[in-house]
Structure formats: C-alpha cells, structure tokens
C-alpha cells in the first residue's frame, strides 16, 4: 500500500487547510508514493524514535509534531538532527506530521484531552479556520441520477446541520448543437438537438470537494459530467483549537491539579494560582503551548485552564487576573498515540488495508521531575 492512501484518508479527518498559517505540516521526509507495510505512531520524531522504527520494521512514521520546524542550513552529519535525517533516508522511512490540523480536527487532539478530563458540554475555545462551503451542481441524464447522487453523498456532500445527504434537484431540457468529435449518440454534427437532464445540487465543504468530484466522474459514463461550482461566502464550518466544558463535580484548584496528575500520568506539574482553594468546574483545555490564550479561556467563562509551556511573565499575568492555570507539560499530547493507532486500525479494517499499526512505546518528554 502506498503512503498517500493512508494520508488521503487522514486528511479527510484532519484537512491540511485547517492548520494554522506557517505550520510546517504534511510530508516531512520521503515520498507519498512510497510503499509501506507498517506505521509507527509517535508524538515526536527523535533519534531514539527512529531507532525504534528501525527495530520494529516500520517504514512510515506518523507524528504529531513536525520533524522540520526549521529548515536544515547544511547537511553536516555531526549535527544529530541531520544525522537523523540521513538515517531515515538510509532506511527508506517516510515521515508525515499532523500538527495544528489534528489540534483543530473534530474528534482530534483537543477532544481527546477534554474526554480524558471527563469534560461534558464541550465547545471550541479558540476560533481557527472557517472552512469554505460550496454549492456543487451536477447536470446528468435522469437514468444516471441515482448513481451520481449516492456517489456524492458517499464522498461527503450534502451535510447540513443535523441532516445528511441533503440535495436540491430539478428537471430541465438542455439544447445544443453537436460539433465535430461530439458523442454521436447525442445527434448528428451541426444539427440542433436537445436532451432531458436532471440537476443535482449539494453543499460540499472545501476539504471534501476533490473527493466528491472524483466520485461523480467515476460513476458517470464517460466521465466529466457538466459541473457548476458556487462559493458560499457567508457560511462555512468553524474549526477551533482547544475545548471548554464542565467537570462532573466542583473541585478546588488543588484537587483539580492532583486530578490532572492522575489523568495525564505525570509525576509533577506547575500550578499558577493565587488561591489553591478556589472552586472550579468549567474547564478550558488546549494541548501544547497555549498560555497566550488564557484571556480567551477566562472570557469564555472557564474557571481554570489546562495547557502547557506557560512562560514566566505570562504566569504573572495569570496571577494578576486571578485565573488558575494548570501546566502539566507539552507531553500530555502523547495521548494522540493510542487514539491515532485505534483510528488507523479502524480504517484498515474498513478498507481491507494489509498494514500494521504500532504506537511508539518511548517517552519523549525532555523533562524529568525530581
């Protein structure tokens, strides 16, 4: 199986278009056309993870954090980072990364973190990309309408609020004059003719547009039916980074901090609070480096905020705002490993992919609490 087969399916779940600007996501090293049989799922791509991939026989590494945040200035192999690239190439291992697109995806990173905390009634925290919606109109002969309609719905068209597969359709007559090279079944060259047609119109999100058009072309005899595309400027799906929701019961800041240690299995964490006995129940969470969004969390009604990598001076601002923040570290995003593994196994079973999926067993957290 080719790498691009898995990646195309993944990008339906977490489109590259919803990543934050300048985030270096996607193919990091290797080729999407490469064949693979085993994928290692990891949070970070570090030399020890590459060694693990070689040991287990993986020829694809799927990571959350990009391996190339900054371009290499040279290929000096005395640099451990460059040597890691060379090792990957030497063993024909492809590397792909899904970062802020996985953070914003529905059912992705921040939903996994919110679920781990037991939050309910969750909504988005920080507005991300608004995905463009289109109206796609396909003109077909009535005999082919059912096949085209089902293909469009199957590829993701027609979802409106709580309704799936919604379409607007109308009948009409198309008049035309066949020119040289036209389909002979549609009349003699140069002679005015007409045919009955059905127009099928559905809403399609940008991320699914290519797949929907391909599905229509696949089922329509001869391919390339008449298509009309209209961009909907004033609507689209709002993706969000982070989540905000409710704990099942009120806790003090101190109790909630201890709860976070258990949930994320960390030996220590940082608490930024001027009142450890303050009651909290509505919680915001954002995986990774989310300290700069604490005012958003406070404004949206959170009693406390869980995020990583809080800076010293930002911590002072949080204290001044009387807003408690729990920093269990960036590494809590390793929650992606079991979830992505389960997701890939589900897709493999659905599509009869003959591949193996294995989560990395390494802890790549650079910090040790003593």
Segment 293-325, tens digit of pLDDT: 999 999 999 999 999 999 999 999 999 999 999
Q: How far apart are CA 51 and CA 112, in angstroms?
A: 28
> Is 364 a domain residue?
no
> Is 288 a domain residue?
yes
pTM over 0.85: no
**Could you read off the pLDDT of 144-161 as tens digits, one per residue?**
999 999 999 999 999 887
Specify the 3-state DSSP secondary structure of 280: strand
Q: Considering 222, 238, 254, which residue would you say is the last residue of a domain?
A: 238
> Does one domain contain both 117 and 77?
no
pLDDT beyond 90 at 187: no
78 assigned binding-site residue: no
pLDDT, averaged across the chain: 94
> What pLDDT, on a 0 to 100 scale, did the predictor assign at position 107?
96
234 assigned binding-site residue: no
> Is 122 a domain residue?
yes
> Does one domain contain both 192 and 256?
no
pLDDT beyond 80 at 186: no
> Does one domain contain both 147 and 220?
yes
Write out the residue range of the structural domain in which residue 35 sits: 3-100+334-359
Q: Considering 171, 204, 238, which residue would you say is the last residue of a domain?
A: 238
**Could you read off the pLDDT of 323-359 as tens digits, one per residue?**
999 999 999 999 999 999 999 999 999 999 999 999 9
Specify the 3-state DSSP secondary structure of 281: strand
Least confident of 115-129, 203-217, 258-272, 278-292: 203-217
> Does one domain contain both 166 and 248?
no
Q: Considering 178, 211, 238, which residue would you say is the last residue of a domain?
A: 238
> Does one domain contain both 45 and 181?
no
Q: How far apart are CA 286 and CA 99, in angstroms?
A: 13
> Does one domain contain both 172 and 197?
yes
> Is 76 a domain residue?
yes
> Does one domain contain both 249 and 311?
yes
> Is 365 a domain residue?
no
> What pLDDT, on a 0 to 100 scale, did the predictor assign at position 71?
83
Q: Which of 287, 327, 264, 265 is nearest to 111 (CA)?
A: 287
Q: What CATH number is associated with residue 322?
A: 3.40.1390.30
91 assigned binding-site residue: no
> What pLDDT, on a 0 to 100 scale, did the predictor assign at position 239?
92
> What pLDDT, on a 0 to 100 scale, did the predictor assign at position 223?
66
**Could you read off the pLDDT of 277-291 as tens digits, one per residue?**
999 999 999 999 999
pLDDT beyond 80 at 262: yes
Q: How far apart are CA 258 and CA 71, in angstroms?
A: 40
DSSP 87-132: HHHHTT-EEEE--HHHHHSTTSHHHHHHHHTT-EEEEEEEEEEEEE
33 assigned binding-site residue: no
pLDDT beyond 80 at 185: no
Angle between helices 80-90 and 47-56 (to 10 degrees): 20
> Does one domain contain both 234 and 295?
no
> Does one domain contain both 120 and 149?
no
Mean of the pLDDT values across residues 248-273?
98
> Does one domain contain both 137 and 230?
yes
Mean of the pLDDT values across residues 39-48?
98
> Is 167 a domain residue?
yes
Distances (CA, A) of 37 to 1, 160, 358: 7, 38, 11
Domains in the chain, number: 3
Q: What CATH number is associated with residue 207?
A: 3.30.70.120
> Does one domain contain both 68 and 80?
yes
> What pLDDT, on a 0 to 100 scale, did the predictor assign at position 234?
79
DSSP 142-177: GGGHHHHHHHHHHTT---BTTBSS--EEEEEEEEE-
> What pLDDT, on a 0 to 100 scale, did the predictor assign at position 18?
93
> Does one domain contain both 39 and 137?
no
Mean of the pLDDT values across residues 195-199?
91
> Is 370 a domain residue?
no
> What pLDDT, on a 0 to 100 scale, did the predictor assign at position 327?
98
Q: How many CB atoms lie within 10 A of CB 26?
A: 16
64 assigned binding-site residue: yes
> Is 368 a domain residue?
no
Q: How far apart are CA 343 and CA 327, in angstroms?
A: 28
Distances (CA, A) of 124 to 86, 207, 238, 244, 336: 40, 20, 9, 6, 19
């Amino acid at each position: 199986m080719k790498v691009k087969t898995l990646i195309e399916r993944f990008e339906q779940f977490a489109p590259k278009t919803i990543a934050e600007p300048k985030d270096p996501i996607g193919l990091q090293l290797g080729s999407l056309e490469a064949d693979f049989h085993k994928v290692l799922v990891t949070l970070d791509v570090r030399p020890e993870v590459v060694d693990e991939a070689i040991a287990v026989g993986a020829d694809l590494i799927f990571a959350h954090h990009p391996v190339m945040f900054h371009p290499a200035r040279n290929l000096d192999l005395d640099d451990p980072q460059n040597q890691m690239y060379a090792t990957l190439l030497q063993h024909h291992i492809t590397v792909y990364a899904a970062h802020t697109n996985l953070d914003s995806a529905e059912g992705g990173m921040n939903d996994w973190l919110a679920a781990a905390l037991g939050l309910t009634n969750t909504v988005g925290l920080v507005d991300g990309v608004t995905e463009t919606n289109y109206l796609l109109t396909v003109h077909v002969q009535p005999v082919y309408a059912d096949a085209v309609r089902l293909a469009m719905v199957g590829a993701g068209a027609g979802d409106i609020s709580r309704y799936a597969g919604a379409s607007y359709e109308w009948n009409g007559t198309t008049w035309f004059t066949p020119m040289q090279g036209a389909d002979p079944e549609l009349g003699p060259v140069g002679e005015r003719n007409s045919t009955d047609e059905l127009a099928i119109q559905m809403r399609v999100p940008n991320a699914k547009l290519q797949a929907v058009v391909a599905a229509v072309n696949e089922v329509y005899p001869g391919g390339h039916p008449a298509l009309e595309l209209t961009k909907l400027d004033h609507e689209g799906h709002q993706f969000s980074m982070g989540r905000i929701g409710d704990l099942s019961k009120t806790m003090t800041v101190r109790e909630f901090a201890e709860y976070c240690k258990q949930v994320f299995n960390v030996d220590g964490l940082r608490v930024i609070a001027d009142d450890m006995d303050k009651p909290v129940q509505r919680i915001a969470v954002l995986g990774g480096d989310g300290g700069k969004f604490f005012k958003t969390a406070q404004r949206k009604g959170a009693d406390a905020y869980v995020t990583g990598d809080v800076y010293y001076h930002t911590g002072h601002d949080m204290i001044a705002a009387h807003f408690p923040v729990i920093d269990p570290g960036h590494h809590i995003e390793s929650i992606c490993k079991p979830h992505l593994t389960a997701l890939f196994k589900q897709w493999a079973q659905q599509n009869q992919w003959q591949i193996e999926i294995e989560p990395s067993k390494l802890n790549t957290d650079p910090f040790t609490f003593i």
